Structure 1
Amino acid sequence: MVEVNAIFSGCNCELQVFDYNDQTRRIAYGAGNTVAITTPFSKNLDVRLCQTLKSHTAIVTVVKWLPEHQLLISGAEDGVTNIWKYTDDGTFSIKQTFEEDEEKSSITCINSPAGDEKILIVGRASGAVEVWSMAEDGSEKFSLFGKFEINSEFYPLSVSAIEVRPEQLVVFVGGTKPNLYVYSLDLNNAESITCAAKLEGHEDWIRALAVKRIDEDEFVIASGSQDRWIRLWKLCLNEKIDNSDQDKSKLRLLSNKLYKFTIGGSTRCAVNFDAIIMGHDDWISSLCWHATEMRLLSASADSSIIVWEPDPVSGVWISKVRLGEMAIKGASTATGSSGGFYCSRWIVDEVYGREIVLTNGKTGSFRCWYHENEPKDTNLGPKTAEYLQNASLTGPSGKVTDVEWSKTGEYLLATSLDQTTRLFAQWTKHSREEQAGRCNLDTDKAPWHEFSRPQIHGYDMICVKPITETRFASAGDEKVIRVFDEPKSVADLLLQLTNVAGGNESMPESASLPVLGLSNKADLEDIEEEIEKEADRPESGDELRRSPDESDGPEKHAKTNMLAGLQAPPLEDHLQRYTLWPEKEKLYGHGFEITTLDVSPDGKLIASACRSNSEKHAAIRLFNTDNWQQLDQTLAGHELTITRIRWSPTGEYLLSVSRDRMFSLWQKGEDGQFVRLALQPKAHTRIIWDCCWIPSSISRCMFVTGARDRKIKVWQLENAQTTVSNICTSERFSSAVTALDAYSGSVAKHAILAVGLDNGLVYIYSVDNRGSLKELLQVDPAKTPDGSISRLSFRPPRHEDTGRIYLAVGSADHSVRILSFGVAELGIEGSNDL
């Protein structure tokens, strides 16, 4: 049985993209085209992604739980709203799909009245707001009650609703106008949807709404806008309405307009402005009321979260807690800024007696703060608590383009179109306190976490390959290959928390990315430059004359100190600021953007290729890692872009496949020159996407190719190494073959081959020494990605793997997955041992 050991997928940057279910204690969030589901919160706040729900064909924009009915609502840019039913065994199934909009316009917001999950309010980019009601027959099916549009130039960004009386609703709609629109409706009359009021006050688009019941007939509505202000509005019913504005005998000095309306002829309502809250420096993106107390949480694009509450004497709303950071508007994540917060949730965890604040940011990662039990009585107030930050969910926020294991298989590198390279490893070494609660922690079951973000680039990342255990080469959507060395601070962190071996004294301490730069710079170099500057300064009075830029010496060591004291995986703050790897070299020579690279098994040569529509540029360039110089020889032959390059396990052969439907095979001579053994025309009938080598223990020169023609072919070098023959061809798969990899070990004299398809399916095959293919298993589609498989990579054999084979899967659905399966489960005769 194939197990899912880890899934990493970043959260989409949307305003209502995740939600928490207080009954199942699970988080659901939009990750690419899928809905990601986490494990329940544990005592130590450990939460991991366990499955992704596949149905949408575009980016998921809204996710909403209905805990009472155990339903999960998801909306996406494809215009579809899905209703998922959750069962106690942890599985989901689609119960219903809304597709009423002919234009298939994107879903922008979804909400339901507090305490009444039988009503759904759905907003679309077309400007329509739909009201859906649940049937009374127990089927939990929704039907369209009605819909309305505000005007042709408006589309909703947030909606909120209040059931003021049974079957009577007040709906608040905010969006691409400064006005907050109020609608009333009676569920007993489909024609009752009426625009009751248009609340003025904001100066820009309204992006967030939150409603709280104060009393039986009194509610408060918070609205957050791009004007950086939060406005509070009060909704009163019947006897709670202040009618003093109708008493002409009273002197009217100041007026606060009451917007009055009636629902169903019996319920009188009035809305008026109540208070304004100022404190954020950028757009308000999310608002949440506390479940039981009169406190409001706001998240903003200024990368801060503030908890507000009214002063008990004056009633003025003041800031009690501020989380996040003091950020510059529009600051890049490469400078350490989180790029602002989007959706946020205020979670009251009654099981473990704590409060949790959760938010997602521009990098796709979550940030989690918590405080336990009752807040301490401090001089700031009785309800002020110290919030602590905890590591949370991380993952790529763009299409994953490459995944590669380190030489020993201790960690995994992944690149994606979110312009980052990430390092994932198992957290095997916990603190004593946590170990006490984790009896006999199994290394195979140790959780996977992101421990470093070696590269935060200005270009989309395309490929990566380790050179040694502490050095790798990567290429973005540019003409340059960049080589990175592990800093000592990251090496020490991995040694402390994982099984990865430590660093040495010659390593740079840490790295940083200069403003407006693309090259990570070792801070050791900065310290040496600072020492040289100090030697040139006059000895007397120099401290008084030093500029702020010259007094940052101690800050150079802060990065090392921040990682040295960690007893748990790094936080998002650490990953962005303190885990970069310094860039050692740049390799030039290509005329266009690089598409693929590979490193020889001995780490001496780097082979790479770039985009091309001519034979001139469709050549393989070789670089020597001893002096980082390009070799004089270029390996030409292809006519179009080379899609993949692979060295043979012994380093003797070099294989490339291309969009021109050919593969080329080169052999390295004793003099270091390469001789072309084959240039196979029409090896496939469509583009060849990938190739891999069968282990040398099975055959000295056997390899596999996979193409858009939906076939894989096994080839072998024969006749005294002068002829390449196609010795086996598979049946057609259901979709194009986009990724291949072979396990570097062998099982009962058989090679293990993984095949990834364009539709996200993954197959495992065996290959014997005659090249015969046999399907061993198909990975359960529920465990595979929703997008094209961009790369497969088997973990190198290790003694600790206890009869299991690990496979990393990178996909266009923004996910990195680590799957594993037992050798004995493959059904190969004599496969009890690796």
Structure 2
Amino acid sequence: MSSTVGGGPSEVEVKRVFIGAGCNRIVNNVSWGACGLLSFGAQNAVAIFDPKTAQISTTLPGHKASVNCTQWLPSNKFAFKAKDLERHYLLSGDAGGAIILWEYSVLEAKWRYVLQVPELHKKGVTCISGIMVSETEAIFASTSSDGTVYLWEVVFPSTGGGDCELLHLDSLFVGSKPMVALSLAELPGNTGHLVLAMGGLDNKIHLYSGERRGKFVRACELKGHTDWIRSLDFSLPICNSGAAHYILLVSSSQDKGIRIWKMALRGSLDSSQSSKPEKISLASYIDGPVLVAGTTSYQISLESLLIGHEDWVYSVEWQPPSPASSEGIAYRQHQSILSASMDKTMMIWKPEKTSGIWMNVVTVGELSHCALGFYGGHWSPSGDSILAHGYGGSFHLWRNVGASLDHWQPQKVPSGHFAAITDIAWGRSGEYLLSVSDDQTTRIFSPWKNDTTPEDEGSWHEIARPQVHGHDMNCVTIIQGKGNHRFVSGADEKVARVFEAPLSFLKTLGHAISQNFTFSEDIQLGVQILGANMSALGLSQKPIYVHAEQHTIEKNPNDSLDTLEAIPDAVPVVLTEPPIEDQLGWHTLWPESHKLYGHGNELFALCSDHEGKLVASSCKAQSAAVAEIWLWEVGSWRALGRLQSHTLTVTQMEFSPDDKFLLVVSRDRQFSVFAINKTGTDGASYKLVAKHEAHKRIIWSCSWNPHSYEFATGSRDKTVKIWTVGKDLSVKLLATLPPFSSSVTALSWVGLDSKQNNGLLAVGMENGLIELWSLSVNKPDDGVEANVCAALVTQFDPLMCHVSSVSRLAWRKRESENCSSIQLASCGADHCVRVFEVKC
């Protein structure tokens, strides 16, 4: 996707390069469509990813609350008859009760907001289930924690661009114990009648039947589960000798059990089995209630009880049918069920050929200690892949690569943070992007070159998770300069922590940058740390040395006891292809080399100079004494000074391009400029040279002109102001940009031409939108005051932008000034890291 807007000095094209995001931690969040794409909620956005490329292709803005559930129409269940559809539809429900319908054009690969379902739910939507009743008609049901279930019919346009018609069929009130799982199906042998199964907090499955455009009536209840019902799924009608006689319903619960229920046309059960009495299996049917739909009735029986999971079973799903080979039958419903549980496993269940007893035939997962179980599992439309989403916002995908026997192998998936992202920083030469988040992790994203297109940069992936912490992360800075890759991070604690890249990461980065990578021996000799181990409480990460494996240590026999300290050792690995979640969460940690003590509150902002000699840090503050900025010397890590100027939290700091000034902005609506003078042995001296009350509200961000002593400040008062530092060290206002539509929360200035002193200023806002402004600074030599020529160059397409506040913007280092394109990274409260390519 790209957006081009004229109006500036030159036309600029913006293209999306990468989106990294984690999945909201909630059941029913993920849906796999018949078109092969997956949808999931990432904070207030609906994110779409393609399993073939392992990339998130887009995020859809529109929800005002966190997205709880998504449902494709047609879903993977109807893939066998959706091959020729030009348009697919997606429903998404949020924590505010809103449901939105989206349209996806397969040929153009474009998305369109269609409509918002009239807002009837008073609380969050917890589940949406829908079925296609014809090529242009679908019925869907939604349930909410307000104790209601609503049924709708939606008629899709037969031609592109037409309007969808929405008809409210029925409202069902289920009382004080809400339903959290739904499934809809057409009843066999009785066209036009539907059955709706719902389950929830009262441990029963409630069945309702109704006509396609009529009211739904309560039919019966199925009892057996002893805890909340979490998932329900109907099979398609199962054909015996050409005629469909019965359908199966599978249910799962927090009682760790899975039950399969059979709904058979009355009479068909006896006739099919009486002729062959010897075929009666061990799974003999336990008759249950009778469901009446119109003039037809169905005998319900318990087909099987599946026991195997050791924790709550959050989802069950029938394998999607495949197109039938024989004439007269449209599809073949597979007798195969996928279940996902909080016990960290997914299982596939099938009936044994001779006895008919349902058995667990495949188990995947058994994830290490870094995962905390699965919230849901889904089949691919073709049935050869299965996907789970986990507690850590992560995806786990397995594909059956076996020819005759099942052989499920992990596949690449997109990944990202599952909470608000607070800060980002580019690697020393722009090789990778580092991000920190309220999900208590630090992550590294990088393009990974492949063999097929060596001239291309490659697709982006998360390649390391250097820090997995016990506190929410607030800020990070990469220390520039020669030597190893290092960064300093700050969290909701009073300590800043310094991390050094281990040998395993340096080698992995080499493979990502070049396929024909060979490692130089001198770096190997210089870096003696291979990786890092997690601490018991998730705070300090201990180094693993290169030669540690040569030392055999006598183990204490009590070490095997299950205690807090008995955390298994990490195995630092050199990755030759992008890693999967299990490797990231444990084996790509960086060792912590120093702690910086001094601040009185939680850390809030960090920055380092361009030379790699100084780091400045600030913390949350309500008084002048606590709002001081600490200067640290890189290497010795001693405190060089405490800079005092502000009375409230310092929100951002940045060194000038030549490191002679430190610019500081604060919640107290003022900015300060400190002159920094580096001395030989003592480190640095500093002096406050300017302080201004610059805005009417909090100043959130600042950025220097890379070519000169101008800088920009952005504030909650929706303005951006451009300032200059004169030769006499006085600061003057040069320009105020026209008011923005929302609070300005992030700024980043990049130079385009040093001779003409022009550049681009990226402006990020609280509403998630990003704009680019062209800034050209003229400095006449005859003593006349400098002036700024500013023009709006482009507003990013909202489909490319964040759906919540932009936290930080950062331009990637350019290879040369002649380079026509430059990359911009952004992060936000919507859990997304984004990289854009700007061609100018």
| TM-score category, normalised to shorter length | 0.7 to 0.9
Which residue is 2:735 aligned to?
728
1:53 pairs with 2:73: no
**Do the aligned partners of 2:144 and 2:178 also contact (CA within 8 Å) in 1?**
no
Matched, 1:460 2:472: yes
Q: 2:351 matched to 1:310?
A: yes
CA deviation after TM superposition for structure 1 residue 99, in Å: 2.6
Which protein, 1 or 2, shows the higher relative CO under an 8 Å CA cutoff with sep ≥ 6? 2
Cα distance in 2 for partners of 1:652, 1:800 equals 23
Q: State the 1:65 CA deviation.
A: 1.1
CA distance in 2, matches of 1:717, 1:412: 31
Q: Which one is further off, 762-771 or 486-495?
A: 762-771
Cα distance in 1, alignment partners of residues 371 and 586 from structure 2: 10
Distance 1:235 1:546 in 2: 55
Range that drifts further, 254-263 or 64-73: 254-263
Aligned counterpart, 1:171: 196
1:368 aligns with 397
1:582 and 1:348 mapped to 2: Cα distance? 43
- Closer, same or farther in 2 for the Cα pair 1:301/1:255, shift >3 Å? closer
Bigger mean CA offset, 313-322 vs 739-748: 739-748
Partners of 1:47 and 1:309 in 2: CA distance: 29
Q: What CA distance in whole angstroms lies between the structure 2 residues aligned with 1:175 and 1:442?
A: 54
Distance 2:691 2:335 in 1: 73
Equivalent in 450, 456, 461 of residue 443 of structure 1: 456
State the 1:801 CA deviation: 9.3
Equivalent in 605, 619, 634 of residue 610 of structure 1: 619
Is the aligned partner of 1:652 residue 2:672?
A: no
Instruction: Answer yes or no: is 1:323 the counterpart of 2:336.
Output: no
Of residues 803, 807, 822, the one that matches 1:805 is 822
1:80 to 87, 92, 98: 98
CA displacement at 1:787 relative to structure 2: 1.0
Alignment-derived partner of residue 29 in structure 1:
40
- 1:620, 1:793 → 2: CA distance? 22
- Going from structure 1 to structure 2, the CA distance change for 1:662 and 1:137 (only over 3 Å counts) comes to closer
Contact 1:299 1:306 in 2 (8 A): yes
Which structure 2 residues correspond to residues 343-358 of structure 1 after superposition, within 5 A? Answer: 343-349=376-382, 355-358=384-387
1:147 aligns with 2:171: yes
AA partner of residue 161 (structure 1): A
1:714 to 718, 722, 739: 722
- Preserved contact between residue 96 and residue 141 of structure 1 (Cα < 8 Å): no
Once the 2 structures are TM-superposed, how far is the Cα of residue 751 of structure 1 from its aligned partner?
Answer: 2.2
Query: C-alpha separation between the residues in 1 aligned to 2:156 and 2:466?
Result: 55
Verify: 1:667 aligned to 2:680, yes or no. Answer: no
Indicate the residue corresponding to 2:185 in structure 1: 161
1:598–1:645 contact (8 Å) kept in structure 2: yes
1:211 matched to which residue of 2?
Answer: 234
Matched residue, 1:261:
291
Deviation at 1:578, TM superposition (A): 0.4
Q: 1:304 to 1:102 in 2, by over 3 A?
A: closer
Go from structure 1 to structure 2 and tell me whether the alpha carbon gap of 1:666 and 1:800 turns closer, same or farther (over 3 Å shift): closer
Aligned partners of 1:98, 1:114: CA distance in 2, in Å?
A: 18
1:174-225: per-residue Cα shift (whole Å, max 9, x none)? 11121111111223543xx222222111111111112113331211111110
User: Is the 2:532–2:570 Cα contact (8 Å) retained in structure 1?
Assistant: no
| Residues 1:577 and 2:577 are matched in the alignment | no
Q: Give the counterpart letter for 2:803 in structure 1.
A: D
Matched position secondary structure for 1:612: coil
Q: TM-score, normalization: structure 2?
A: 0.85
Deviation at 1:774, TM superposition (A): 2.3
Partner of 2:513: 498
Q: Distance in 2 between matches of 1:532 and 1:70?
A: 60
Alignment CA distance shift 1:586-1:281 (3 Å): same
Deviations 1:433-484 (A, max 9, x none): xx3xx3x44334x111100011111111111111145110011121111111
C-alpha deviation, 1:729, in angstroms = 1.0
Residue 207 of structure 2 corresponds to which residue in structure 1?
A: 182
Structure 1 residues 282, 549: closer, same or farther in 2, change over 3 A?
closer
- In the alignment, which of 728, 749, 763 is matched to residue 771 of structure 2? 763
1:143-180 superposed Cα distances (whole Å, 9 cap, x missing partner):
11001122222333343434443221111101112111
Match for residue 96 of structure 1?
115
Which of 413, 419, 425 aligns to 1:392? It is 413
Corresponding position: 1:479 with 2:499: no
User: What displacement does 1:255 show?
Assistant: 8.8
Q: 1:741-786: per-residue Cα shift (whole Å, max 9, x none)?
A: 1125536531221111111111112222333322222222221111
Secondary structure, aligned partner of 2:593: strand
Report the 3-state secondary structure (helix = DSSP H, G, I; strand = E; otherwise coil) of the residue aligned with 2:267.
Answer: helix
SS in 2 for 1:657: strand
Partner of 2:422: 401
C-alpha distance in structure 2 between counterparts of 1:255 and 1:118, whole Å: 33
Following superposition of structure 1 onto structure 2, how do residues 420-435 of structure 1 map, counting pairs within 5 Å? 420-428=441-449, 430=450, 435=451
Of 797, 803, 807 in structure 2, the residue corresponding to residue 790 of structure 1 is 807
1:686 is matched with 697
Separation in structure 2 between the aligned mates of residue 326 and residue 621 of structure 1, nearest angstrom:
42
CA distance in 2, matches of 1:779, 1:137: 30
Q: Deviations over 1:413-444 (max 9, x none)?
A: 0111111111011111x3xxxx3xx3x44334
Q: Counterpart of 1:6?
A: 18
**Identical-pair percentage:** 32
CA distance in 2, matches of 1:174, 1:278: 19
Distance 1:801 1:661, change over 3 A: same
Q: Which amino acid aligns with 2:296?
A: T
Alpha-carbon separation, structure 2, partners of 1:305 and 1:371: 14
Change over 3 Å in CA distance of 1:271–1:651 after alignment to 2: same
Contact 2:498–2:592 (CA under 8 A) maintained in structure 1: yes
Alignment CA distance shift 1:92-1:556 (3 Å): closer
Aligned to 2:301, which of 272, 277, 291? Answer: 272
Is residue 2:319 matched to residue 1:300? no
- Is 1:228 the counterpart of 2:245 in the alignment? no
- Of 189, 194, 198, 2:217 maps to 194
Q: Is 1:774 aligned to residue 785 of structure 2?
A: no
Change in Cα spacing, 1:739 to 1:189, as seen in structure 2 (3 Å) is closer
Is the counterpart of residue 489 in structure 1 residue 504 in structure 2?
yes
Instruction: Evaluate the alpha carbon distance shift between residue 800 and residue 755 of structure 1 in structure 2; reply closer, same or farther with a 3 A threshold.
Output: closer
Query: Distance in 2 between the 1:801 and 1:511 partners?
Result: 41
C-alpha distance in structure 1 between counterparts of 2:90 and 2:69, whole Å: 11
Q: CA deviation at 1:802?
A: 4.4
The one-letter code sitting in structure 2 at the alignment partner of 1:52 is T
Equivalent AA in structure 1 for residue 611 of structure 2: D
Superposed CA offset, 1:714-759 (max 9, x none) = 11112522x1111111111111111001125536531221111111
Query: Quick one: which amino acid aligns to residue 724 of structure 1?
Result: V
Q: Are 1:765 and 1:776, in contact at CA under 8 Å, matched by a contact in 2?
A: yes
Q: Supply the distance in 2 between the matched residues of 1:794 and 1:371 (Cα, whole angstroms).
A: 41
What letter corresponds to residue 229 of structure 1 in structure 2?
A: G
Query: 2:373 maps to what in 1?
Result: 340
* Mapped partners of 1:635, 1:624: distance in 2: 14
Q: How many Å separate the matches in 2 of 1:314 and 1:255? A: 14
1:32 and 1:501 map into 2 onto residues whose CA distance is 41
Per the alignment, residue 10 of structure 2 pairs with none
Aligned length: 754
State the partner residue of 1:121.
Answer: 141
Any idea what SS the aligned residue of 2:371 has?
coil
1:642-683 per-position Cα deviation (integer Å, ceiling 9, x unaligned): 111111111111110011110011001354211100111x21
Cα distance between partner residues in 2 of 1:732 and 1:558: 51
Who is 1:516 aligned against?
537
